[in-house]
Every structure is written in C-alpha cells, then in structure tokens.
Amino acid sequence: MVDFSGYFKSYFDYLPILLIVISLYWTRIVGGPWVPSSMQVIHRMLDMAEVGPDDTVYDLGCGDGRVLVAAAKRYHARAVGIEIDPIRYLWCQILISVLGLRKQVQIIFGNLFNADLRKADIVVCYLMPDALSKLEKKLKTELQPGKRIVSNKFSFPTLEMVKKDGNAILYTITPNQSEINSQ
Ligand SMILES: C[S@@+](CC[C@H](N)C(=O)[O-])C[C@H]1O[C@@H](n2cnc3c(N)ncnc32)[C@H](O)[C@@H]1O
C-alpha cells in the first residue's frame, strides 16, 4: 500500500485536488463541463438575440468569460456571468479587471439554478440537455415575455424556438409561455 500520510499534513493540502475534482467532474453533474463556445458561435448568438447597449446579458455558466467580454466590448451591453467552478470564477474576475470592464461586467460565484434572473434581457447558455430541462421552468417564471434566450448546440424541450443558425439557437419567452402572471 502506498502511504500518502507524509504528503497531506493539513486540510489545505487537499485544496488543489478538491479544485480539480470540482472543475473536471462536479460541473458535469450540475450543468455541464467547461467547453468554451467558439467566438463565431458567440457572435452568431448575440447577433441573433439583437444585443444592444441597453441590454443586460446573463451567461449561465460563464466559463472563461468570453461571452461576457464579447457582450461588453462588441455590443456595449452590461453582462452578468454566473460560474460554479472556483478556478474559472477567479479567472473571470482577473480578466474583467485586466480589461477594465469592472463597471460593465459582474461575475457571481455560485449555482446558476439559485441565481435571480429577473434583470436579464438576454440569457446565454451552453449547458447539457438535462440542465436545460431544469432551467426551462426557471426561465418561464423569472423572465418577462419578450426576453430572449440563446443556447449553444443543445435545445430546450418545450420553449418555442424562433431561429436556428448552425449551433446557435434563439428562443423568446412568449406571453403564453411566461408563468409570471399566472402565479
Ligand atoms: C460548456 S461551458 C460554457 C462556457 C461559456 N458559457 C461559453 O459558452 O464559452 C459550461 C460552463 O458552465 C459551468 N457550470 C456548469 N454547471 C453550472 C451551474 N450549475 N452553475 C454555474 N455554472 C455552471 C461550468 O463550470 C462551465 O464553465
């Protein structure tokens, strides 16, 4: 038997292992692993959603922050990213500071399913189908009719698709789908 007792003297010694496990495995279970969207798909999604300077774009599972940076720099929108992986959350914080985007971009550390999405005009996601099924109910209860949702690659089960261009899929919350007034 290999004796690791000499390597791990305090709980802090386990921290790198814990961070790697969260980054590689935990994210798969709670929404989807980190696979960055290509810049081409990001521009297609944000173009389709007609993002403008008065909009607030939410990226649910913001990864390395590329969607947020594109929304802020190319479309002059406000952007909010939610990320559960501590390493990528820290990366995003550093990135937006280095790029001078602190006033325009906010990063929230945590689970997207616990986030308040009511201020979003456009929601961007690149998550696994299981996560989209769960997210759909939340979007219907928190987004007003007319708000746009764009997904990379994977479809929502019952939201009405407006347009699909390659991997970019656009949805709008219709008055029929919105559950805000029916509560
Ligand atoms: C496929 S990547 C997409 C990254 C980025 N949105 C993009 O398009 O380039 C999915 C991201 O969602 C994060 N994630 C997965 N489940 C999550 C959850 N429940 N709450 C917050 N972030 C989550 C992962 O850590 C990962 O960074």
Using CA atoms, how far apart are residues 157 and 48, in angstroms rounded to an integer?
A: 20
Res 58: pLDDT: 98
Is 9 inside a domain boundary? no
For the segment 99-108, what is each residue's pLDDT rounded down to a tens digit? 999 999 999 9
Ligand 1 atom at shortest distance from the alpha carbon of 41: 8
The mean per-residue pLDDT over the stretch 86-113 comes to 97
**Ligand 1 cavity residues, CB under 6 Å:** 27, 30-32, 34-37, 59, 61-63, 66-67, 82-85, 88, 111-113, 126, 152
Q: Which atom of ligand 1 is nearest the CA belonging to 111?
A: 20
pLDDT digits (tens, 9 = 90+) for 58-84: 999 999 999 999 999 999 999 999 999
**Cα distances (angstroms) measured from residue 74 to each of 60, 101, 120:** 19, 12, 18
Q: How many domains does the chain have?
A: 1
Measure 86 CA to ligand 1 centroid, in angstroms. 11
Over the stretch 22-61, which tens digit does the pLDDT of each residue have?
777 788 888 888 999 999 999 999 999 999 999 999 999 9
Residue pair 170/164 in contact (Cβ under 8 Å)? The answer is: yes
Supply the residue whose CA is at minimum distance from atom 2 of ligand 1. Answer: 34
Output the DSSP codes for 76-125.
--EEEEEE--HHHHHHHHHHHHHTT-TTTEEEEES-GGGS--TT-SEEEE
178: in domain? no
Examine the pLDDT at 9 and tell me if it is beyond 70.
no
Q: What is the pLDDT of residue 5?
A: 62
> Is position 72 within any domain?
yes
Residue 70 covered by a domain: yes
Whether the predicted pLDDT of 166 surpasses 90: yes
What CATH number does residue 69 fall under? 3.40.50.150
